[in-house]
Amino acid sequence: MEMRMNIQENRNFLRSVAERRWTRFCQNHWPSAAAMRADLESRNVIISERTAENYRQGHLPALLIVISMINAGYWPSLQRVFEPFIQAGGIAALEAELNDKKREVMQHERELEELRRANRSPVPDCHTADW
């Protein structure tokens, strides 16, 4: 249960960082929601005035809008906004790789232990004194 809480807290933290960065980007890049909408529409990214207002207040865009903005040339700015998610994904991939390696090591350790047990088993001595 505690692990699940930590994961949720981390997700919430990443989201809040991205939302703050997104708000800052929108407010610094466009003086108003109308200017934001007009600029994006000139680059074939269609959003409503209300959506532009929501973006300026920190609401993160949907994936299709992000993809459209990347295609419109906003990748450097979006990369900065979504950097926490990108890094978290990289960390998660490294953690998964580490877990795979740990499983491999544990499997090899089990195999070694089986070999050690097999070598320790008593072997009948062929040279007994009873001959």
Between 119 and 47, the higher pLDDT residue: 47
Confidence of residue 5 (pLDDT cuts 50, 70, 90): low
> Domain locations in the chain?
2-81
Tokens for 25? 């980007």
Confidence of residue 68 (pLDDT cuts 50, 70, 90): very high
